[in-house]
Amino acid sequence: MKEDTYKKGKKNIENANLEDYAKAARTFTWKDSRKYVDWTEGGLNAAYNAVDRHAQTWRKNKVALYWEDEAGNAKKYTFEELSLLSNQVGNVLKDFGVERGDRVFLFLPRIPELYFSFLGILKIGAIAGTLFSAFQEQALFDRLENSGAKVLLTTRELKPRVDAVKKKLPELKHILIVDEEPFAKSVENASDALRIAHTDPDDYAFMLYTSGTTGKPKGVVHSHRAILQEHMTAHWVLDLRDEDAYWCTADPGWVTGIAYEILGSWSNGVAALVYAGRFDPDRWYKLLDKYNISVWYTAPTAIRMLMAAGDSLIKKHNLSHLRHLCSVGEPLNPEAVRWSIKVFGMPFHDTWWQTETGAICIANYPSMDIKIGSMGKPVPGLTAAIVDDNGHELGVNKEGNIALKPKWPSMMHTIWRRPQKYKSYFTNGWYISGDRGMMDKDGYFWFIGRADDVIKTSGERVGPFEVESALVAHPSVVEAGVIGKPDTMRGEIIKAFVVLEKSVIEKTKTKPQLEKIKEELSLYVKKHLAGHAYPREIEFMDKLPKTRSGKIMRRILKAKELGLPIGDTSTLEDY
């Protein structure tokens, strides 16, 4: 597909927090980031930097958290209130015997208690773990057992799932129910003065479990030092400023919800919205309007669903305060960028990073032209490259592994209780991400696919993402997932799983009509991508298997197609 560049005007460049990317990339070192955060007696505490330091400045009475649920109930908390509430939770946890290094897990929906409890855990030097509220018994057991969690905070509604596995968790000493009177009274009566632990920058702060194709989920552990990169990327990439109202739509069960809904964003002193409800296009636009959101960080899946809902909804709301849009979770299809330029007058900026990297590593910046479909360029202070399987750098426009040079501040410190697994990420001095890509002559990175997703058909290598993007560009398609299917003649053929527009489904009732659409889509990809890259098989689906962060899970599609074990599905929707 032809390269399409969105040119940034002079106004974008002069007003951006990162005005001169090239200069910063050339001169910035992570030592420079230290002046953006507060160090306490030689230590560094991420939660202190996110909230408490602001409570000692003019931001004391500034709203840090706007919270609203599906029923329309709304609350707000200032930086001082978050500081004091997290102090009280920290003191309650200490009363239950929590010490530095203990694991305290949060099995909570997106309620305010999740946010100030997370901060309280970090402030006392314990390690916070977050769990999606949709997790069922096996997913809970796997994570709580492996982590050796000492205390779990949950709700009345979710507690029965924990009770079902509690007998098999001897290290879990206490289950605290945040929406029952004993916990509420304990917090209310606890002192709001807390001696914040003088944590070393490399002390563990939080951990998240990620699912793989096989085996149990792995516990990725991050240190307090991560706040340096989370702060700088929220400043440079999200372009956060004091006057902004900011909405990151991620759940803190996912790393984005920690890095850019709690730590990095609040470290920049921004007022943030949390919506504790299901996705609904009209409701989302109402929230953007009601809270005068100026910076919005969401996922490609949500963007595609907004596209499918039509442009007329947008006209019902005042979104003139939106100034910067970013995307995270999976590569952003070019069609979604073009759509946002058309309807919002500005592009979504794609960002690339992983649970293991802890913060944004490659991105499109407000002051930099966007090559639509590109991941952008590495964050200043970080070295990225395309390398072969032996960790040797490849030239321009060569496909290989997207790799990063250790150590960056937010890099994972370990895989909990699996040191060999941790070592397996590194080859010849590079962190190998597991993503395939290429770098063009201008230094922009381009995503091709996960290493195990790339399709080899008739001797040609095809990245599933580019086929998916070509399909999504067709007006009849909402979403697409593409896999390689074994074929005796071609090695593999391309099979696409497609979700059609609602209006198309309503008009398509017969088998001949469906076959006609399949042929039309295949020809469309042939014309817009390449003759060898079109799907020889197309299957229509009501929805695609996705993680709760919105990432299409091609391995699930492939496993079902080939009758193979699906592997761990605990982080998937509706599994």
Question: In this structure, what token pair is assigned to residue 278?
Answer: 């299901």
Spatial contact of 386 and 393, defined as CB atoms under 8 Å apart: yes
Using left for φ > 0, alpha for ψ between -120 and 50, and beta otherwise, residue 215 falls in: left
- The token duo for 197 is 């632990």
Mean pLDDT calculated for residue range 400-417: 97
| Residue 213 pLDDT > 60 | no
Summarize pLDDT for 222-263 with one digit per residue, the tens: 999 999 999 999 999 999 999 999 999 999 998 999 999 999
| Span 72-98, average pLDDT | 98
Contact between 191 and 140 under an 8 Å Cβ cutoff? The reply is: no
Q: Report whether pLDDT(291) > 50.
A: yes
Q: What is the mean pLDDT of residues 100-129?
A: 98
Sheet containing 127-131: give its strands across. Answer: 174-177, 151-154, 103-107, 127-131, 204-210, 218-223, 414-415
pLDDT score of 556 more than 70? yes
Q: Report yes or no: 288 and 295 within 8 Å, Cβ to Cβ.
A: no
Q: Which helix (H) or strand (E) holds 63?
A: strand 63-69
Q: Are the C-beta atoms of 259 and 410 separated by less than 8 Å?
A: yes
- pLDDT score at 212: 58
pLDDT value, residue 531: 72
Whole-structure pTM value: 0.86
| pLDDT band at residue 573 using 50, 70 and 90 as cut-offs | low
What average pLDDT does this structure show over 400-422? Answer: 97
Structure tokens at 434: 């597991």
Q: What span, in angstroms and rounded, lies between the C-alpha atoms of 292 and 192? A: 32
Average pLDDT over residues 400-420: 97
- Tell me the pLDDT band of 456, cut-offs 50, 70 and 90: confident
Tell me the backbone φ, ψ of residue 286, rounded to 5 degrees.
-65, -40
**Rounded mean pLDDT, 548-568:** 82
**Cβ-based neighbour number of residue 124 at 10 Å:** 25
Q: Specify whether the backbone of 21 is left (phi greater than 0), alpha (psi in -120 to 50) or beta.
A: alpha
Alpha helix stretches (DSSP H) within 277-417:
281-290, 300-308, 334-344
Residue 189 exposure: Cα atoms within 13 Å on the Cβ side: 7
Percent of the chain at pLDDT exceeding 90: 74
Kindly list the structural domains of the chain, giving each domain's residue range(s) and its CATH number in brackets, ordered by start. Answer: 5-439 (3.40.50.12780), 452-562 (3.30.300.30)
Closest CA to 150 of 188, 124, 176: 176
- The H or E element spanning position 485 is strand 477-487
Side-chain-side CA neighbours of 35 within 13 Å: the count stands at: 4
Lowest mean pLDDT among 211-215, 344-348, 432-436, 487-491: 211-215
For residue 309, CA distances in Å to 284, 454, 471 come to 12, 31, 18
Task: Give pLDDT, residue 432.
Answer: 97
Quickly list DSSP for 417-454.
Answer: T-HHHHHTTEETTEEEEEEEEEE-TTS-EEEEEETTT-
Tell me if the bond preceding 407 is cis, omega within 30° of 0.
yes
pLDDT band at 464 (very low <50, low <70, confident <90, very high): confident
| pLDDT higher than 60, residue 214 | no
**Residue 37: left (phi > 0), alpha (psi -120 to 50), or beta?**
beta
Three-state DSSP class for 171?
coil
How far, in Å, CA of 242 to CA of 56, rounded? 16
What mean pLDDT comes out for the span 439-463? 83
Using alpha carbons, list the distances in angstroms from residue 191 to 46, 57, 86, 109, 187.
21, 22, 11, 26, 8
pLDDT confidence of residue 470: 85
Average pLDDT, the chain: 92
What average pLDDT does the segment 143-166 reach?
Answer: 96
pLDDT at 4 over 80: yes
Question: CA 560 to CA 570: how far, in whole Å?
Answer: 16
Residue 575, pLDDT > 50, answer: no
Indicate the angle between helix axes 281-290 and 300-308, nearest 10 degrees. 110
Mean pLDDT of the 362-371 span: 97
Q: Which pLDDT score is estimated for 506?
A: 84
**Residue 215: pLDDT band by 50, 70, 90 thresholds?**
low
Please state, in angstroms and rounded to a whole number, the distance separating the CA atoms of residues 241 and 24: 19
pLDDT on residue 467: 87
d(CA 518, CA 513): 9
571 against 104, higher pLDDT: 104
User: pLDDT value at position 1?
Assistant: 42
CB 200 within 8 Å of CB 224: yes
